[in-house]
């Protein structure tokens, strides 16, 4: 199950934030925020995507750059709010 979620997050990041010719590979450990793939401004749309997809409300104070910095971190964050 968590493999499916991982893939869903990675696919979303690739589609939403990367240009087709970017040549950047994304896996579950790839740094998303600190590497600049997802800038702090675009983190809002990533948070919205997760909330819509998993029907959760992530409190703003928990939506930190660190908590969003990789697909694995995001899964850990989601586990606090939903049974995934």
Select from 36, 62, 66, 76 the one that contacts another protein (CB under 8 A). 36
Q: What is the C-alpha separation between 63 and 60, in angstroms, rounded? A: 5
The DSSP secondary-structure symbol of 69 reads: S
Among 2, 7, 27, 44, interactor with another protein by CB under 8 A: 44
Q: Which residues, in sequence order, are CB contacts of 17 under 8 Å at separation 6+?
A: 37, 38, 42
Q: Which of residues 14-33 bind another protein (CB under 8 A)?
A: 16-17, 19
Q: Which is nearer to another protein, 48 or 84 (CB)?
A: 48
Q: What contacts 1, CB < 8 A, 6 or more positions away?
A: 84
Residues at the contact surface with another protein, assessed by CB under 8 A: 16-17, 19, 35-36, 39, 41-42, 44-45, 48
């Amino acid at each position: 199950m968590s493999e499916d979620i991982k893939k869903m997050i990675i696919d979303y990041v690739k589609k939403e934030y990367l240009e087709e010719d970017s040549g950047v590979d994304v896996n579950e450990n790839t740094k998303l925020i600190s590497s600049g793939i997802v800038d702090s401004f675009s983190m809002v749309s990533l948070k919205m995507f997760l909330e819509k997809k998993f029907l959760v409300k992530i409190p703003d104070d928990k939506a930190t750059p660190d908590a969003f910095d990789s697909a694995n971190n995001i899964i850990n964050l989601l586990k606090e709010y939903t049974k995934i």
